[in-house]
Amino acid sequence: MSDPAQTLEQLRQALGDDAVVTGTNISQRHYSDWTGHAPACPAALLLPRTTAHVASALRICNAARQPVVPQGGMTGLAGGAVPRASDIALSLERLRGIEELDPAAATVSVLAGTPLEDIQQAALNAGFVFPLDLGARGSCQIGGNIATNAGGNAVIRYGMTRDLVLGLEVVLADGRVLDLRNKMIKNNCGYDLKQCFIGSEGTLGVITRAVLKLAPQPGPTSTLLCALPDYASAVSLLRRIQRSVGTPQAYELMWQDFFRLGVSWLENPTAPMSLDYPLYVLLESAVPGEPLETLLEQAFADGEVLDAVLAGSQAQARGLWKIREATAEFPLRMTPLNFDVSLPIGLIGDFVERCRTRLEQHWPGNHSVYFGHIGDSNLHLTVDCTSLPQPAPILDIEELVYSAVGELGGSVSAEHGIGLLKREFLHHSVGPEALAVMHQLKDCLDPNGILNPGKIFV
Amino acid sequence: MSDPAQTLEQLRQALGDDAVVTGTNISQRHYSDWTGHAPACPAALLLPRTTAHVASALRICNAARQPVVPQGGMTGLAGGAVPRASDIALSLERLRGIEELDPAAATVSVLAGTPLEDIQQAALNAGFVFPLDLGARGSCQIGGNIATNAGGNAVIRYGMTRDLVLGLEVVLADGRVLDLRNKMIKNNCGYDLKQCFIGSEGTLGVITRAVLKLAPQPGPTSTLLCALPDYASAVSLLRRIQRSVGTPQAYELMWQDFFRLGVSWLENPTAPMSLDYPLYVLLESAVPGEPLETLLEQAFADGEVLDAVLAGSQAQARGLWKIREATAEFPLRMTPLNFDVSLPIGLIGDFVERCRTRLEQHWPGNHSVYFGHIGDSNLHLTVDCTSLPQPAPILDIEELVYSAVGELGGSVSAEHGIGLLKREFLHHSVGPEALAVMHQLKDCLDPNGILNPGKIFV
C-alpha cells in the first residue's frame, strides 16, 4: 500500500476538498449499518458528485492498493457496508436524483444514491408503481438495494430487485466506467454483465446509475386473514388462489406462537379469531371481495381453511396488518436474534418443526417465533435472547439454525445478503466449487482486492 | 493442440465407443442450425449420458486445447451451435428427462437435453404451466433455451428464460462441475453465478441440469383485434389494459403492410375489419369479455382505438391469430431477410418510420413488413429479398437496420442471440468497455478458449 496521506492528497485534488472528509468530520452514521455491528470510523469518507469522480477515486485507490467500502443508506442487515478503520468509505449519497421517467417504456433512470421512497413517489406521480418496498424505504438508497439484491414486501408478485433492474452504470475497481444502461426487456447482446454486480455487495464494482422497470398501478386490494390446519394447507391455499384469482400482493404466514404474540401486543388486544389454530395467513389480493369469497367457500369445504375474516374497511385491514407488524416491536419488547433464511417451499413446515425441536432440546423453555413470506420461500424466525441462559449462546444458535437450513437445501441468506455477519455460515448453502468460482470472478474484476474486502468471503 | 486422434481415443475410453461418433455416422442435423448457415461436419460428435461424462469430455478437450461446440436441438437462429470441421460437437440429447416436479415449490428439475414441449406437458399434467413457449417447442432443448436466454410468445407476461431459471448445474471448460441448483425465489448467498451462464451461448460452460419456475395455469383467455390510429395509441392502450385488467398474455402489433399481407394469405381472405387503418393489435387477455368491453369503450371515446373485434368463439380467435401467423409462411412465399431487434418501447414507432424511409431511399420499391411484441420492446421486420436488386445486398441492409437500431439505443439481438450471424453488428449495441469485460469474463472461465470459439465475438 502507498502512503495513505499521499492517497488522500490525490483524492482531494481529483474530487475537491469538500468531497474528502476525515476524522471527526465523518458523521457516525458511516461507522456501521442498522445492525450496529463493529462500528469504526473509516480513514476517510469520499462524497463524489459524479460518475467521473467515482472513477477517479477508484483509480487512485486501486493504484495505492487502498481498500474502499461503498456505502448507500447504511440500512443493511448483514454488515456489508461497515468500514474498518483502515478503509476509505465511498458514499453515493450525492449521486442523487431521478434522471428520466419514460412512461412509454415504463422505466425510470436514477442515480445510485437516490432514496427508494423518492423513486416510489416518482412512479406514483406518473401513474405507475416501483414495486420494490421494504421498511427502510425512506433511508435506503437504490444503489444499495441493487448491490444487495433486496427482497422486501412484494417479492411474491414482482420478484427481487434483480427482476426490476434493466440496466446499470458501474465503475470497476480500476476506474473503468461500464455503461450497461438499457431500457429493453429483451436484449441478448452477449453476456448480461449487469447480473454480475446485482447482489455482489459492493465487492465487484460500484453502481452509479440504474434503469428500473415500473409496473402498472394495481387497483384496490382485499385483505383477508385465514386460519389453517397445517402447513400443507398454507401451500395448497396459495396455489388455489394463484390459479383462480392470480398471485396475491402479499401472503404472510404466521405460526401460532407468532400470532399470539402479535395479538397480545395490540393496543386493544382483541383477537380477530380464535388463538388456538395452528397457523394463520394474512393475504392481500388485487381482486374484489366476491371472487375471493367463492374461493374461500371451496377452501372451507376442502378443510384447507378453518376460519376467515375479510376486512370490511381500510381500518379493519390495518388492524389485521398490525398483528403481522409485531416484528417492528421486537427490538423494544425482547432481545431478538433474527434469522432470514429460505427453503424449498414444501419443506418450510418440516424445517420449523425440526428447528423448534432442536432449540427446545438444547435450551429448554427458550422462546422462538416463526413467520414468513412463504410464497417466495422466505422464512423468518426470531429467538428471544432473554429466554436463554446468559450470556446468550448466539453462535451456537446460529450454527444450529443454519446447519438445519443446509440439511434441507436452503439458503442461509434469503434477502439480506452475507456481508460480515454470515460469512462463517455461507458453506451451509454454497459448495466449495461454487465458492472457488466466486473467488475467480472476484480476482477477474478486482485483481487487487480493493473493493469491500472481507465481505461475503471469510 | 494435441494429436486429434489421440484426443478421440481418450474420449472413447472415458465416454464409451457409442458416445463418440465420427465421419458419416454423424447425422447432418448436427452440421448447422435452423438458419442452415455454414454447415460443416464436425471432427466428432460426443453423446454423453451423464454430467460426469460431460465433465470428462471437457477435461480431455481442455487439456488438448480442442474446441468444443455444445449443441441442443439445433433450432437456433443465429448460428450459435454451428460447428467448424475442426470442432468437436457435444450434444446434450441423451441427458434427457424430467427428474422431479415439486408442486409445493412450483418447480421442475430437468436434464439439459429435455425438449421444451416435454416440460410444458409435465407442467400441465401437474396443474401448472411452464410459460416459456416458442415455435420450435417440439425440437428445441431446454439447455439451448437457457444458453440463449430464449424469448418467445409469453415474455410480456412471464419474462425471458432467465426469469424462469432458479438453478443450474454447469460443467466448466476445465471439467469442474458447478452445482448451482436451487428451488428458492429468494437466495442471496454470494454471487448468483448461474446468471453468467444464462444467455452466454455455450461460451462459458455447458449446462447439464436446470431447476425451473412453474406458473399457475391461467383461466380461459379473450382474444381481441383492435385498429389503432398511430403508434402512440398502441403504447397507451397497452398501459390502459395493464392498469385495469392486468398484463395481457400477448400483445402483438402489426403495421398496415403486415396486416394486409397476413389477410391476403388467408385461405379465405376475408378481412375482419377494414384494411386501411395504420396499425392493428392482436391481444390475448386472461380476463372475461365484459371488463375488456368496458375498457374498449373508454379507449374508443379517447380515440385510441378506431375499430375492434372480440372473438366470439375459439374458431374466431384462431382465425384472428392466423393473420399474425403469416410469418410461418414467409419462407414459402418470399425470400425473407428477418430481423429481431429491440428498442425502447416509446421509440419503436419512430424506428419503423426511419427504417422504412432509409430502405426506400436506397432500394426504391423494396417490400418490407413490420410487426412485433412491443410490450417487451421487441420488433421484427422482414425484407423480401425478391423485391431487391439481385444479388440482394444483404450486408448493406443489415448495416442499415442495425446502425439505425444503435442510433436509438436499441439492441441488435432481442431474443435470438449473437452466435455467428450478428458478431459484426454487436458494436452497435455494446460499447468497447463492456466488450472488454466480456472478454475478461471469457478468459476467466475458459482460459484456453475451447468453448464455442468464434461465437458472439469476432
- Whether residue B298 is contained in a domain is answered as yes
DSSP string covering A272-308, please? SS-S-SSEEEEEEESS-HHHHHHHHHHHHHTTS-SEE
The answer to the question of residue A29 being in a domain is yes
HEC secondary structure over B235-304: HHHHHHHHHHHCCCCEEEEEEHHHHHHHHHCCCCCCCCCCCCCCEEEEEEECCCHHHHHHHHHHHHHCCC
* Residue B450: inside a domain: no
Tell me if A233 is assigned to some domain.
yes
Q: Whose CA is closest to A201, among A48, A22, A425, A423? A: A423
Which of B183, B188, B208, B412 to mutate to test binding with chain A, by most A CBs within 10 Å of its CB? B188
Chain B closest CA to A121's CA: distance in Å?
A: 17
Read off the C-alpha cell for B421.
450471424
Residue B237 lies in a domain: yes
In-domain check, residue B20: no
Q: Is the residue at B404 inside a domain? A: yes
Taking CA–CA distances from B239, the nearest residue in chain A reads A216
CA distance B57 to chain A (A): 18
- Which one of A160, A188, A216 terminates a domain? A216
Whether residue A127 sits in one domain with residue A51: no
What is the number of CB-based contacts under 8 A between chain A and chain B?
Answer: 261
**Considering the domain boundaries, does residue B121 fall inside one?**
yes
Is residue B278 reached through a cis peptide bond, with omega within 30 degrees of 0 on the bond before it?
no
* Residue B263 sits in the same domain as residue B210: no
Residue A9 C-alpha, separation from nearest chain B C-alpha, in angstroms: 29
pLDDT at position B218 is 84
CA distance B46 to A83: 51
Peptide bond into A391 cis (omega under 30): yes
Strand partners, B381: B339, B370
Q: Name the band, by pLDDT with cuts 50, 70 and 90, for residue B1.
A: low
Per-residue pLDDT of B389-418, as tens digits, reads 999 999 999 999 999 999 999 999 999 999
- Chain B residues whose CB is inside 8 A of the A177 CB are 433
Number of structural domains chain B divides into: 3
Smallest Cα distance from A457 to chain B, Å: 8
Q: pLDDT digits over B168-217, tens only? A: 999 999 999 999 999 999 999 999 999 999 999 999 999 999 999 999 99
Q: What is the pLDDT of residue B73?
A: 97
Q: What is the pLDDT of residue B152?
A: 86
Sheet holding B367-373, edge to edge: B307-310, B222-228, B279-285, B250-255, B367-373, B378-384, B336-342
CATH code for the domain of B371 = 3.30.70.2740
Q: Are residues A226 and A182 in the same domain?
A: no
Local confidence pLDDT in tens for the 458 residues of chain A: 578 999 999 999 999 999 999 999 999 999 999 999 999 999 999 999 999 999 999 999 999 999 999 999 999 999 999 999 999 999 999 999 999 999 999 999 999 999 999 999 999 999 999 999 998 999 999 999 999 999 988 899 999 999 999 999 999 999 999 999 999 999 999 999 999 999 999 999 999 999 999 999 988 889 999 999 999 999 999 999 998 888 999 999 999 999 999 999 999 888 999 999 999 999 999 877 778 888 999 999 999 999 999 999 999 999 999 999 999 899 899 999 999 999 999 999 999 999 999 999 999 999 999 999 999 999 999 999 999 999 999 999 999 999 999 999 999 999 999 999 999 999 999 999 999 999 999 999 999 999 999 999 98
Buried (b) or exposed (e) across B228-238, using 16+ Cβ within 10 A?
A: beebebbbbbb
Residues of A in contact with B102 (CB under 8 A): 344, 346
Cα B95 to Cα B27: distance, rounded to the nearest angstrom = 18
pLDDT of residue A221: 87
Q: Look up the domain containing A26 and give its range.
A: 4-94
Would you list the DSSP string of A130-182?
A: -----TTTTT-BHHHHHHTT---TTHHHH--GGGGEEEEEEE-TTS-EEEE--
* A197 & A260 share domain: no
Query: Are B282 and B209 contained in the same domain?
Result: no
Q: How far is Cα B206 from Cα B202, in angstroms, rounded to an integer? A: 6
Domain shared by B240 and B280, yes or no: yes
Structure confidence at residue B33 as a pLDDT band (50, 70, 90) = very high
Asked which of B170, B193, B216 is the last residue of a domain, the reply is B216
Candidate from B185, B413, B440 with C-beta closest to A377:
B185
Q: Are residues A209 and A131 in the same domain?
A: yes
Do residues B202 and B107 share a domain? yes
Q: What is the 3-state secondary structure (H, E, C) of B402-447?
A: HHHHHHCCCECCCCCCCCCCCHHHHHHCCCHHHHHHHHHHHHHHCC
Shared domain check, B226 and B212: no
Of B294, B127, B180, B296, the residue nearest B228 (C-alpha):
B296
Which of A168, A195, A216 corresponds to the end of one domain? A216
Residues B239 and B192 in one domain: no
User: What's B116's domain CATH number?
Assistant: 3.30.465.10
C-alpha span between A161 and A133 (Å, rounded): 10
B320 plus B350 within the same structural domain: no
* Residue whose C-alpha cell is 381453511: A305
Domain containing residue A293: CATH number? 3.30.70.2190
pLDDT for position B232: 97
Shared-domain flag, residues A90 and A103: no
